[in-house]
Every structure is written in structure tokens, then in C-alpha cells.
Amino acid sequence: MTENATIAYAQLPLAEPIQRAVAEMGYVQTTPIQAQAIPVVLAGQDVMGAAQTGTGKTAAFSLPLLQRLLKHDNTSMSPARHPVRALVLLPTRELADQVAQQIKQYAQYTNLRSAVVFGGMDMKPQTAELKKGVEVLVATPGRLLDHIEARNCVLNQVEYVVLDEADRMLDIGFLPDLERILAYLPKQRTTLLFSATFSNDIKRLAGSYLQNPVTIEVARSNATASTVEQRFVRVSSDEDKRPMLAQLIRQNGVKQAFVFTNSKLGCGRLARALERDGFKTAALHGDKSQDERLKALEAFKAGEVDYLICTDVAARGLDIKDVPAVFNYDLPFHAEDYVHRIGRTGRAGAEGLAISLVGNADGKHVAEIGKLTNQKIQPLEIALEARGGSRGPRGEYRSDGGERRREPRRSHEEREPQGDRYRRAPKLVDPFFDKPYEAPAHAEAASWEKSAPRSPATRPGLSANIRPKRAVAALFKPAAPRADDSQDN
């Protein structure tokens, strides 16, 4: 089979319940990664799969796993008859929830159970679901270890383990957790490793835990999707980024898009600023609770939110169909993250648009992206349109699209009267208080100097500057009566 060959789903050796679910989901033709990976996984071999983001890696490992697990399909209510047979590990909560939903759709006409566990949520509902028994467990490494230590799940019957977005898990420091989890699994198992990029660390991880894996690469390493049009637009300063972003959205007629920033604080500020400018936005970053993050994603999928302002927490694996554009408000610090960000558009062969704003300090990032994606990047010079009347942050007034100026503050006397609102009482003038101080020509002596003159003659040995003490009357406590006085009475 050639690298980019595809086949019809009807030709795959999948059982009727899975074929029915796939047909209802609108799957007709496989993607290249699916066409090559599904037969290998069905044969029970380990796989190292590399494909650019948005090419259907989830179906590439989920469908053959469910096919092989059909031998364990049963209608028993006993949890013992539903042990964990397949474990899927992912780096983020959003990605774990998305993959779990897809697996549940693929298995909807079977008796195979699936569940998802991730952090940021109460463990009790997850524990109750695990106690009922599940064949396919989707999890993030940290929360899975919590359940293992709480003895909520046992992994000694796992037959298949999937490491999806493995490079991201290594980037955010999950390697120790992965090693601990893999130590709980049986030695005899099938291991599948899927990633958008293959780094040296990924290859070392595969060498340690995979046995004679079949390497499948359907695209050049770190390549971007050919269906995504990439543009880089230069801005003269960071203050021009927001008006330029709004201008590009209007000029290109973008009705829905991801907008990526590098910081959580900047993400929230940009979402609020665009909301004030009339755009329907939602913020998605790591400081949001899991419930808030899921609600923001659902609102974006449902079209209730047009622009999802997010950090790199949303850069990987999120499969939201028909998103026409991605904006890089800030260029990513790592060039690999650029590939993942723009992969949120142009998914499954659709066309997409990726626009990145380039500031004066972004020359290094542009060079790294160009080297990674093997393209010569020449940022476009687009004039910022003049737009009057929009209010900037902190009460600033923007007279046009690019310049910001603060109106000079005027005193109350300079303000023009508007009815009775600024009408003030006339200012009172008192000549006595307005006149400067003048010392009297002949200063009189103080009262104490008149009554008690201080002179060395009357008070020998004392300075004339020392004021004498006044005689003060005092009230003394009467003495207690004596014992002989009481006897006399």
C-alpha cells in the first residue's frame, strides 16, 4: 500500500456493529494513517504511528481495538466480567474527554463499556463508574495514578495500551507517571504509540516499551497540512495586535476561529477586550475549572461562541469540525506547537486559514517555524485601517485604528456647562484670609511674662529662659485612724 493510499470502510474487516456505527458517523473513506494502521493493529503488532494532526489517529487505534475486544463482549452485570482490557493515555483533559466520546460512539452497538477519568473533577462519580467495570479506560496519567493508589481500578488484565500525543506528554513532564503506570501492566501486551511528531525522546520511549513496532509515517515529520493556507502579518507594536486581529477577522469574513495566546492572563484579557468590541468570545486556559473548560468547548462547538481565545491547552488533538481559521495572536515559544495550533483547522482534508501576527521581537520564532516547516516566511505588511470611536482599555480613547491617545483632563472651570449638571455656586472671596501674613510692629509680652517676670535678679542661679513652676493645690488622702483613737471613742 502506498503512503497516501486510502480504502473504503466497507472493505475493512470490521464487525457489523462497528461498521454500522462508523456508517452513521459519516465515515466512508479512510485517511492514510487509518488505512495503514488498522490492518497492523488487527494483526496484534505494536505500532509507532506518526501523522500530521487532524488526520484521524483516534479512529486508527480505536476501531481495531474494539474489533479485537469483541471476543470479551458480554451482557453480564457483574463487574468481574468487565475488567479493563484496553488503556488509552492522553495528555490533557479536553483530549481525553473527546477521545472517550468517540470510542463510545464507535462501540454504541456493542456491549463493550468505556469510561474516562481526568483531573479537575470529583473522583466519586469516576470511582462509581469504574466499580461497575469497563473494558476501555481513557485517562490522563495523573488522575489514573490517583485511582490506582485508591484501588479503584486494576490493570492486570490489560491487553492493549495506547499512548496518544506521546510527545506532548513528555513535554509536560509525564514521563515518570508513564513509567509508573506501565509498571502495573502485564508484560505481554500490545502497545500503540501515536504522535503528530517524532522526537528523539519519543524514539527512546518506544525502544523501551514497544516490541518490534511497525513504524507508520504518512507525512513528513513536523509537516503542516497542505490544505491550510498560512499567512504571517507584521504589526508595529503589541498595542496594534488587537485592532489588527479584529481587522483581519472582518476582512477575511471569518465567522469562527481559534485564537491562541501564550499566557493565561493575556488570554483572559484578550477575550474580554474582544467581547467589548462586539465579538462573541470564550476563554480557555489552565486556570479555568474543568467545568468551565468543558462548557466553553461545548459553546464553541454549538456555535454559541464564535471565537475561542485559548492557550496551548487547546493546541493538540481537539477535533472540532469545520473550523475555518486559526489566529496566532502570540507566536508559540516552541516551533512544534505552531504545527499543532494550525492543525485545529483544515481537518480531514478540509481547507483552512492560519494567520499569525508577527511583532518586532518575534524574528527568532519566525525563523524557527520556517526551519521546522521547511518554508521561507516573509511577513506581510498590512496597513491598519482607521476606525474611530472605539474605546481602548483603561478608559483610553482610540481616535483611529492604530493610534491611542488619552484626552487631556480639564478642570471644572474649563468644562462647558450642560444644563444644571455642571452649574456650580460662585466662589466666595474673603480679603482677610487672602491677605498675606504681616508681623505686628510692636510685639507685646506674653501673659506669663507679665505676671512672672523672668530675671536673674529675682531668681538667682536660674536662666531667664526658664519658666518658674506654678503653685498647684493638691488633695491628699486622709491618714487612717490609729487603734488607740478608736478605743478612746
Percent of the chain beyond pLDDT 90?
43
Could you tell me where the DSSP H helices lie in 172-317?
A: 175-183, 200-209, 241-251, 264-276, 290-302
Q: Where are the domains of the chain?
A: 9-217, 228-385
Give the mean pLDDT of 128-132.
94
Give residue 309's pLDDT: 94
Q: What is the pLDDT of residue 253?
A: 92
- Per CATH, which fold does 228-385 belong to? Rossmann fold (3.40.50)
pLDDT tens-digit series, residues 21-32 = 999 988 888 888
Query: What pLDDT is stored for residue 489 in this prediction?
Result: 46
Binning pLDDT at 50, 70 and 90, where does residue 400 land?
very low
Q: What angle do CA 329, 306, 106 make, to 5 degrees?
A: 105
Residue 293 sits at the vertex; the CA angle it makes with 291 and 294, to the nearest 5 degrees, is 65
Full 3-state SS string of 421-458: CCCCCCCCCCHHHHCCCCCCCCCCCCHHHHHCCCCCCC
The per-residue pLDDT of the chain, averaged, comes to 81
Gap between the Cα atoms of 292 and 19, Å rounded: 35
Please determine whether the domains at 9-217 and 228-385 fall in the same fold group of CATH.
yes
In this prediction, residue 443 carries a pLDDT of 61
Taking 80 as the threshold, does the pLDDT of residue 151 lie above it? yes
Q: What is the pLDDT of residues 417-459, one digit of tens each?
A: 555 554 555 666 677 667 777 766 666 665 555 555 545 445 5
Residue 241: closest CA among 122, 138, 361: 361
CB-based contact 60:82 (threshold 8 Å): no
pLDDT number for residue 226 = 75
pLDDT, greater one: 187 or 466:
187
State what percent of residues in the chain have pLDDT above 70: 76
Q: What is the mean pLDDT of residues 328-340?
A: 88
The pLDDT tens digits of the residues spanning 468-478 come to 666 666 666 66
pLDDT of 465 higher than 70 = no
What is the average pLDDT across 285-295? 82
Q: Is residue 339 very low, low, confident or very high in pLDDT (cuts 50, 70, 90)?
A: confident
User: What would the mean pLDDT of 273-302 be, rounded to a whole number?
Assistant: 88
Q: Please name the CATH architecture into which domain 9-217 falls.
A: 3-Layer(aba) Sandwich (3.40)
pLDDT band at 86; cut points 50, 70, 90: very high
Calpha distance 381→378 (Å, rounded): 9
